[in-house]
Amino acid sequence: MKAIAINTCKNCPNFKETPYPTNDSFERPAYWWCCNKNVEVINESEFTEDYRKGNDVLMKARKIQGYVEWYDEKDIKIPEWCPLPNIK
């Protein structure tokens, strides 16, 4: 298996993105989530239960960032709590 350089959460296989609802139809913000099974629970408000995995399987995710627009992506750093080794 080939190693993937992870310099942004978007390159991570544990990354999920879901729409951030707004009243403006031109905006396309998103929530960024870490769905790694080893992510630590620090604050329950940073977690959500969501049906994002195939076949409606319930999974937990930790919020990386809320309200991310395309122009914000370059400024979002990998969180300190990231459970993957050697990427911090």
Segments making up each domain of the chain, as ranges: 9-75
17-47 burial, b at 16+ Cβ within 10 Å, e below that, comes to eeebeeeeeeeeebbbbbbbeebeeeeeebb
Who has greater pLDDT, 5 or 46? 5
* β-strand partners of 16: 33
> Residues 21-43: what's their mean pLDDT?
80
Q: Tokens 């396309």 label which residue?
A: 28
pLDDT in tens, 42-64: 555 555 545 444 555 556 788 89
